[in-house]
A = this chain, B = another copy of it.
Amino acid sequence: MRVAIVGAAGYTGGELLRILLDHPQVSELQAASESQAGKFVWSAHPNLRKRTDLAFLPYDALRPADVVFLALPHGEAMRRLDEFRGLGTLCVDLSADHRLRQASAYDVWYGAPHPHPERLAEFVYGIPELHREQIRTARQLSGAGCNATAVILGVLPLARAGVIDRSRPIVAEAKVGSSEGGRESSEATHHPERAGAVRSFAPVGHRHTAEMEQELAHPRVDFSATSIEMVRGVLATAHVPLARELDEKALWRIYREAYAAEPFVRVVKERTGIYRYPEPKILSGSNYCDVGFALDPRGQRVVVVSAIDNLVKGAAGNCVQAMNVACGFDETAGLGFPGLHP
Protein backbone atom coordinates (compact mmCIF):
# COMPACT_ATOMS: atom_id res chain seq x y z
CA MET A 1 0.00 0.00 0.00
CA ARG A 2 1.23 3.55 -0.80
CA VAL A 3 1.10 6.18 1.95
CA ALA A 4 1.91 9.90 1.81
CA ILE A 5 2.51 12.16 4.79
CA VAL A 6 1.99 15.89 4.23
CA GLY A 7 3.87 17.86 6.87
CA ALA A 8 6.26 15.01 7.71
CA ALA A 9 8.92 17.11 9.47
CA GLY A 10 6.88 17.84 12.59
CA TYR A 11 6.74 15.63 15.70
CA THR A 12 3.53 13.80 14.66
CA GLY A 13 4.90 13.49 11.12
CA GLY A 14 8.03 11.89 12.60
CA GLU A 15 5.97 9.41 14.61
CA LEU A 16 3.90 8.55 11.52
CA LEU A 17 7.19 7.83 9.71
CA ARG A 18 8.59 5.74 12.57
CA ILE A 19 5.40 3.61 12.75
CA LEU A 20 4.74 3.31 9.00
CA LEU A 21 8.36 2.33 8.23
CA ASP A 22 7.64 -0.85 10.24
CA HIS A 23 4.08 -1.36 8.98
CA PRO A 24 3.69 -4.76 7.21
CA GLN A 25 1.26 -3.43 4.56
CA VAL A 26 2.99 -0.16 3.71
CA SER A 27 5.21 -0.68 0.68
CA GLU A 28 5.73 2.93 -0.45
CA LEU A 29 6.08 5.98 1.77
CA GLN A 30 6.26 9.64 0.75
CA ALA A 31 7.28 12.29 3.29
CA ALA A 32 6.43 15.82 2.16
CA SER A 33 7.66 18.98 3.87
CA GLU A 34 8.01 22.45 2.39
CA SER A 35 10.56 23.66 4.97
CA GLN A 36 12.79 20.52 4.81
CA ALA A 37 12.33 19.56 1.13
CA GLY A 38 15.37 17.71 -0.27
CA LYS A 39 16.80 16.72 3.09
CA PHE A 40 16.94 13.18 4.47
CA VAL A 41 14.04 12.54 6.87
CA TRP A 42 16.54 11.60 9.59
CA SER A 43 17.87 15.15 9.68
CA ALA A 44 14.53 16.12 11.25
CA HIS A 45 14.04 12.74 13.00
CA PRO A 46 17.46 11.58 14.24
CA ASN A 47 16.03 8.34 15.67
CA LEU A 48 15.51 7.26 12.05
CA ARG A 49 19.22 7.45 11.14
CA LYS A 50 20.39 4.29 9.37
CA ARG A 51 16.73 3.21 9.41
CA THR A 52 15.78 4.86 6.07
CA ASP A 53 17.34 7.04 3.38
CA LEU A 54 13.95 8.57 2.49
CA ALA A 55 14.15 12.30 1.75
CA PHE A 56 11.50 15.02 2.21
CA LEU A 57 9.62 15.99 -0.96
CA PRO A 58 8.19 19.45 -1.65
CA TYR A 59 4.37 19.32 -1.68
CA ASP A 60 4.15 19.73 -5.45
CA ALA A 61 6.28 16.63 -6.03
CA LEU A 62 3.80 14.35 -4.25
CA ARG A 63 2.58 11.40 -6.32
CA PRO A 64 -0.87 9.79 -5.74
CA ALA A 65 -1.12 7.33 -2.83
CA ASP A 66 -3.76 5.09 -1.25
CA VAL A 67 -3.69 6.93 2.09
CA VAL A 68 -2.77 10.59 2.72
CA PHE A 69 -2.01 11.81 6.25
CA LEU A 70 -2.23 15.58 6.78
CA ALA A 71 0.05 16.60 9.65
CA LEU A 72 -0.27 20.33 9.09
CA PRO A 73 -0.48 23.17 11.61
CA HIS A 74 -4.04 24.00 12.70
CA GLY A 75 -5.84 26.14 10.13
CA GLU A 76 -3.82 24.91 7.12
CA ALA A 77 -5.74 21.70 6.46
CA MET A 78 -9.00 23.67 6.47
CA ARG A 79 -7.70 26.02 3.79
CA ARG A 80 -5.61 23.63 1.67
CA LEU A 81 -7.65 20.41 1.78
CA ASP A 82 -8.45 20.53 -1.96
CA GLU A 83 -4.71 20.56 -2.79
CA PHE A 84 -4.16 17.21 -1.05
CA ARG A 85 -7.57 15.55 -0.89
CA GLY A 86 -7.36 14.13 -4.39
CA LEU A 87 -3.97 12.51 -3.79
CA GLY A 88 -5.40 9.42 -2.13
CA THR A 89 -8.57 7.40 -1.56
CA LEU A 90 -8.37 7.79 2.24
CA CYS A 91 -7.46 11.12 3.83
CA VAL A 92 -6.57 11.37 7.55
CA ASP A 93 -6.31 14.90 8.95
CA LEU A 94 -4.42 14.97 12.26
CA SER A 95 -5.18 18.65 12.91
CA ALA A 96 -8.21 20.11 14.73
CA ASP A 97 -9.61 21.49 11.49
CA HIS A 98 -12.27 18.77 10.91
CA ARG A 99 -12.83 17.32 14.37
CA LEU A 100 -16.01 19.10 15.41
CA ARG A 101 -19.44 18.30 14.01
CA GLN A 102 -20.97 21.79 14.64
CA ALA A 103 -19.36 24.53 12.58
CA SER A 104 -20.47 27.07 15.23
CA ALA A 105 -18.20 25.36 17.75
CA TYR A 106 -15.21 26.66 15.77
CA ASP A 107 -16.28 30.25 16.41
CA VAL A 108 -16.53 29.50 20.17
CA TRP A 109 -13.43 27.36 20.66
CA TYR A 110 -11.13 28.39 17.83
CA GLY A 111 -12.11 32.05 17.68
CA ALA A 112 -12.96 32.09 13.95
CA PRO A 113 -15.71 30.67 11.71
CA HIS A 114 -14.80 27.49 9.84
CA PRO A 115 -14.14 28.37 6.13
CA HIS A 116 -15.79 25.14 4.84
CA PRO A 117 -18.49 24.11 7.34
CA GLU A 118 -20.14 21.86 4.75
CA ARG A 119 -17.13 19.54 4.90
CA LEU A 120 -17.38 18.77 8.60
CA ALA A 121 -20.07 16.13 8.03
CA GLU A 122 -17.79 14.27 5.60
CA PHE A 123 -15.19 13.56 8.32
CA VAL A 124 -15.45 10.78 10.90
CA TYR A 125 -13.88 11.41 14.32
CA GLY A 126 -11.07 8.88 14.00
CA ILE A 127 -10.90 7.12 17.40
CA PRO A 128 -11.64 3.41 16.64
CA GLU A 129 -12.74 2.69 20.24
CA LEU A 130 -15.51 5.26 19.63
CA HIS A 131 -16.49 4.93 15.93
CA ARG A 132 -15.00 1.67 14.61
CA GLU A 133 -18.00 0.83 12.40
CA GLN A 134 -18.15 4.27 10.77
CA ILE A 135 -14.36 4.28 10.27
CA ARG A 136 -14.54 0.98 8.33
CA THR A 137 -16.25 2.73 5.43
CA ALA A 138 -14.99 6.29 5.93
CA ARG A 139 -12.97 8.09 3.24
CA GLN A 140 -12.09 11.09 5.44
CA LEU A 141 -10.97 10.78 9.06
CA SER A 142 -9.99 13.42 11.57
CA GLY A 143 -7.50 12.72 14.34
CA ALA A 144 -8.44 13.71 17.90
CA GLY A 145 -6.94 16.12 20.38
CA CYS A 146 -4.49 14.35 22.67
CA ASN A 147 -6.00 15.63 25.94
CA ALA A 148 -9.47 14.93 24.56
CA THR A 149 -8.45 11.36 23.70
CA ALA A 150 -7.29 10.70 27.26
CA VAL A 151 -10.39 12.18 28.94
CA ILE A 152 -12.85 10.66 26.46
CA LEU A 153 -11.42 7.12 26.65
CA GLY A 154 -11.33 7.35 30.44
CA VAL A 155 -14.95 8.42 30.87
CA LEU A 156 -16.54 6.71 27.84
CA PRO A 157 -17.62 3.45 29.56
CA LEU A 158 -19.55 5.43 32.19
CA ALA A 159 -21.20 7.59 29.50
CA ARG A 160 -22.22 4.52 27.52
CA ALA A 161 -23.55 2.80 30.65
CA GLY A 162 -25.72 5.89 31.27
CA VAL A 163 -24.56 6.23 34.89
CA ILE A 164 -23.31 9.83 34.68
CA ASP A 165 -25.40 12.60 36.29
CA ARG A 166 -25.96 14.83 33.25
CA SER A 167 -27.12 17.73 35.40
CA ARG A 168 -23.63 18.28 36.80
CA PRO A 169 -20.34 19.00 34.96
CA ILE A 170 -17.49 16.58 34.58
CA VAL A 171 -14.35 18.31 35.85
CA ALA A 172 -11.18 17.05 34.14
CA GLU A 173 -7.56 17.97 34.87
CA ALA A 174 -4.75 16.95 32.51
CA LYS A 175 -1.05 16.97 33.35
CA VAL A 176 0.74 17.35 30.00
CA GLY A 177 4.18 17.16 28.39
CA SER A 178 6.04 19.74 26.33
CA SER A 179 5.85 17.83 23.03
CA GLU A 180 2.14 18.81 22.85
CA GLY A 181 3.29 22.20 21.66
CA GLY A 182 4.99 20.64 18.63
CA ARG A 183 8.32 21.52 17.04
CA GLU A 184 7.96 25.34 17.15
CA SER A 185 10.03 26.79 19.96
CA SER A 186 9.13 29.96 21.86
CA GLU A 187 10.23 31.91 24.91
CA ALA A 188 7.99 29.74 27.05
CA THR A 189 9.62 26.51 25.82
CA HIS A 190 13.17 27.81 26.43
CA HIS A 191 14.67 25.08 28.66
CA PRO A 192 15.63 27.26 31.62
CA GLU A 193 12.01 28.52 31.65
CA ARG A 194 10.22 25.25 30.84
CA ALA A 195 12.28 22.77 32.90
CA GLY A 196 10.68 21.95 36.25
CA ALA A 197 7.50 23.82 35.32
CA VAL A 198 4.22 22.98 37.03
CA ARG A 199 2.40 25.57 34.91
CA SER A 200 -1.30 26.13 34.45
CA PHE A 201 -1.22 27.18 30.86
CA ALA A 202 -4.94 26.65 30.12
CA PRO A 203 -7.00 26.67 33.29
CA VAL A 204 -10.18 27.43 31.30
CA GLY A 205 -11.26 27.59 27.65
CA HIS A 206 -9.00 24.78 26.39
CA ARG A 207 -9.99 23.86 22.82
CA HIS A 208 -10.14 20.14 23.48
CA THR A 209 -13.17 20.75 25.69
CA ALA A 210 -15.41 20.88 22.60
CA GLU A 211 -14.39 17.35 21.55
CA MET A 212 -14.97 15.99 25.07
CA GLU A 213 -18.49 17.38 25.22
CA GLN A 214 -19.17 16.21 21.65
CA GLU A 215 -17.90 12.65 22.00
CA LEU A 216 -19.10 11.99 25.55
CA ALA A 217 -22.43 13.64 24.69
CA HIS A 218 -22.22 15.36 28.06
CA PRO A 219 -23.58 18.90 28.36
CA ARG A 220 -20.68 20.37 30.35
CA VAL A 221 -17.04 19.34 30.70
CA ASP A 222 -14.81 21.71 32.65
CA PHE A 223 -11.29 20.96 31.51
CA SER A 224 -7.98 22.49 32.48
CA ALA A 225 -4.40 21.57 31.67
CA THR A 226 -1.15 21.91 33.59
CA SER A 227 2.23 21.40 31.96
CA ILE A 228 4.69 19.42 34.07
CA GLU A 229 8.24 18.05 33.78
CA MET A 230 7.55 15.62 30.95
CA VAL A 231 8.14 15.56 27.17
CA ARG A 232 5.70 12.84 26.06
CA GLY A 233 2.57 11.98 27.94
CA VAL A 234 -0.84 13.00 29.20
CA LEU A 235 -2.33 12.03 32.54
CA ALA A 236 -6.02 12.99 32.77
CA THR A 237 -7.94 12.93 36.04
CA ALA A 238 -11.69 13.20 35.50
CA HIS A 239 -14.15 13.85 38.35
CA VAL A 240 -17.40 12.24 37.22
CA PRO A 241 -20.73 12.79 39.05
CA LEU A 242 -22.81 9.59 39.17
CA ALA A 243 -26.58 9.48 38.60
CA ARG A 244 -26.88 6.63 41.14
CA GLU A 245 -24.91 4.62 43.70
CA LEU A 246 -22.43 2.16 42.23
CA ASP A 247 -20.01 -0.18 43.95
CA GLU A 248 -16.49 -1.14 42.79
CA LYS A 249 -17.65 -4.45 41.28
CA ALA A 250 -20.23 -2.62 39.16
CA LEU A 251 -17.55 -0.21 37.94
CA TRP A 252 -15.21 -3.08 37.11
CA ARG A 253 -18.00 -4.71 35.12
CA ILE A 254 -18.65 -1.49 33.18
CA TYR A 255 -14.96 -1.04 32.33
CA ARG A 256 -14.36 -4.71 31.62
CA GLU A 257 -17.34 -4.88 29.22
CA ALA A 258 -16.20 -1.72 27.46
CA TYR A 259 -12.49 -2.52 27.11
CA ALA A 260 -11.65 -6.25 27.64
CA ALA A 261 -11.68 -6.84 23.88
CA GLU A 262 -9.96 -3.57 22.93
CA PRO A 263 -6.34 -4.21 21.82
CA PHE A 264 -5.10 -0.76 22.91
CA VAL A 265 -7.03 0.07 26.09
CA ARG A 266 -5.91 -1.51 29.37
CA VAL A 267 -7.85 -1.22 32.62
CA VAL A 268 -5.25 -0.52 35.30
CA LYS A 269 -6.33 -0.53 38.92
CA GLU A 270 -4.19 -2.60 41.27
CA ARG A 271 -3.88 -2.76 45.07
CA THR A 272 -0.14 -3.36 45.19
CA GLY A 273 3.00 -2.49 43.26
CA ILE A 274 4.36 0.87 42.13
CA TYR A 275 2.18 1.43 39.04
CA ARG A 276 -1.29 0.94 40.54
CA TYR A 277 -3.08 3.49 38.41
CA PRO A 278 -2.35 4.56 34.83
CA GLU A 279 0.66 6.76 34.20
CA PRO A 280 2.34 7.99 31.00
CA LYS A 281 5.92 7.04 32.01
CA ILE A 282 5.62 3.45 30.77
CA LEU A 283 3.54 4.36 27.70
CA SER A 284 6.04 6.45 25.71
CA GLY A 285 6.14 5.16 22.14
CA SER A 286 3.25 2.75 22.67
CA ASN A 287 -0.32 3.08 21.33
CA TYR A 288 -1.87 2.07 24.68
CA CYS A 289 -4.37 4.12 26.62
CA ASP A 290 -4.41 2.97 30.25
CA VAL A 291 -7.62 3.66 32.21
CA GLY A 292 -8.30 3.30 35.94
CA PHE A 293 -10.93 4.50 38.41
CA ALA A 294 -11.51 5.09 42.11
CA LEU A 295 -14.96 5.22 43.68
CA ASP A 296 -15.40 8.11 46.12
CA PRO A 297 -16.55 6.50 49.38
CA ARG A 298 -18.63 9.61 50.03
CA GLY A 299 -20.81 8.35 47.19
CA GLN A 300 -22.09 9.18 43.78
CA ARG A 301 -18.74 10.24 42.38
CA VAL A 302 -15.92 8.37 40.64
CA VAL A 303 -12.48 9.68 39.76
CA VAL A 304 -11.23 8.30 36.47
CA VAL A 305 -7.49 8.29 35.70
CA SER A 306 -6.30 7.81 32.10
CA ALA A 307 -2.89 8.05 30.43
CA ILE A 308 -1.52 8.06 26.88
CA ASP A 309 1.53 9.10 24.87
CA ASN A 310 0.20 12.29 23.27
CA LEU A 311 2.25 11.70 20.09
CA VAL A 312 1.13 8.07 19.64
CA LYS A 313 -2.38 7.18 20.92
CA GLY A 314 -2.94 10.95 21.13
CA ALA A 315 -1.99 11.47 17.46
CA ALA A 316 0.08 9.35 15.03
CA GLY A 317 -0.52 5.88 16.52
CA ASN A 318 -4.28 6.39 16.76
CA CYS A 319 -4.41 7.56 13.14
CA VAL A 320 -2.49 4.48 11.96
CA GLN A 321 -4.88 2.35 14.03
CA ALA A 322 -7.81 4.10 12.31
CA MET A 323 -6.13 3.59 8.91
CA ASN A 324 -5.81 -0.12 9.69
CA VAL A 325 -9.56 -0.27 10.40
CA ALA A 326 -10.48 1.71 7.29
CA CYS A 327 -8.24 -0.47 5.08
CA GLY A 328 -9.39 -3.76 6.63
CA PHE A 329 -5.94 -4.62 8.04
CA ASP A 330 -5.21 -6.15 11.48
CA GLU A 331 -5.97 -3.20 13.75
CA THR A 332 -2.64 -3.61 15.61
CA ALA A 333 -0.45 -3.71 12.46
CA GLY A 334 2.69 -1.59 12.97
CA LEU A 335 1.64 -0.72 16.54
CA GLY A 336 3.25 -3.57 18.49
CA PHE A 337 5.75 -1.57 20.58
CA PRO A 338 4.62 -2.09 24.21
CA GLY A 339 6.48 0.86 25.82
CA LEU A 340 9.45 0.75 28.20
CA HIS A 341 9.88 0.07 31.88
CA PRO A 342 11.58 1.59 33.72
Integer count of this chain's copies in the complex:
2
Q: Is the interface of A mostly helix, strand, loop or mixed?
A: loop
Q: How large is the interface on A (under 10, 10 to 19, 20 to 34, 35 or more residues)?
A: 35 or more
Chain A 111-122: CB-based contact to B (< 8 A → 1; otherwise 0) = 000000000000
Check if A285 is an interface residue, CB within 8 A of chain B: yes
Asked if residues B47 and A339 are in contact (CB atoms below 8 Å), the reply is: yes
Asked if residues A338 and B51 are in contact (CB atoms below 8 Å), the reply is: yes
Asked if residues B266 and A47 are in contact (CB atoms below 8 Å), the reply is: no
Check if A284 is an interface residue, CB within 8 A of chain B: yes
Chain B contacts for A188, CB-based, 8 A:
none
A195 to chain B, nearest CB (A): 10
Q: In the complex, which of the residues B18, B270, B288 contacts A338, with contact meaning CB atoms closer than 8 Å?
A: B18
Chain B contacts for A270, CB-based, 8 A:
43
CA distance A224 to B314 in the complex (A): 41
Chain B contacts for A47, CB-based, 8 A:
282-283, 286, 338-341
Q: A11-B342, A232-B342, A273-B46 are in contact. Are A336 and B22 (CB under 8 A)?
A: yes
Which are the 5 A-B pairs with shortest beta-carbon distances? A47-B341, A47-B339, A46-B275, A47-B282, A50-B266
**20 A–B contacts, CB within 8 A, in A order:** A11-B342, A14-B341, A22-B336, A45-B341, A46-B275, A46-B282, A46-B341, A47-B282, A47-B339, A47-B340, A47-B341, A49-B266, A49-B268, A49-B290, A50-B266, A51-B338, A231-B342, A284-B340, A285-B285, A285-B337
